[in-house]
Amino acid sequence: MKTFEKLDLTKKYEMVRKHGTRVLTASYQQFCVTLYLLNGHYAESYFNVKTLKVERVQLTEYRDLEKYLDLITIHDIYWIL
């Protein structure tokens, strides 16, 4: 996914929205963070609810997914499979 990392913010966001599968959305401080599954990798988009803009889209490592464990339900997993 080195190609993904080279894309600008707009292209990254378009890619996860069009080609990714939304796993869940969570609120952290002023951000609405959406976790996507994209070609076997996880990506997060950070939408700032104060500015109403996507500020960051990034791939995440499996070890960084621990923060989502309490939020994932069987229903979420069913739709991914």
**pLDDT (tens digit per residue) in 14-54:** 999 999 999 889 998 999 999 999 999 999 999 999 999 99
Helix (H) or strand (E) holding 4: helix 2-6
Token couple for 5 = 């990392």
pLDDT of residue 61: 87
CATH number at residue 66: 3.10.450
Query: Domain residues for 34?
Result: 2-80
* Total domains, the chain: 1
pLDDT of residue 52: 98
Residue 70 has pLDDT above 90, yes or no: no
Residue 73 has pLDDT above 70, yes or no: no
Do 54 and 46 form a contact (C-beta atoms < 8 A)? yes
Provide DSSP, 13-57.
HHHHHHHSEEEEEEEETTEEEEEEEETTEEEEEEEETTTTEEEEE
pLDDT of residue 63: 84
Total residue length of the chain: 81
pLDDT of residue 41: 93
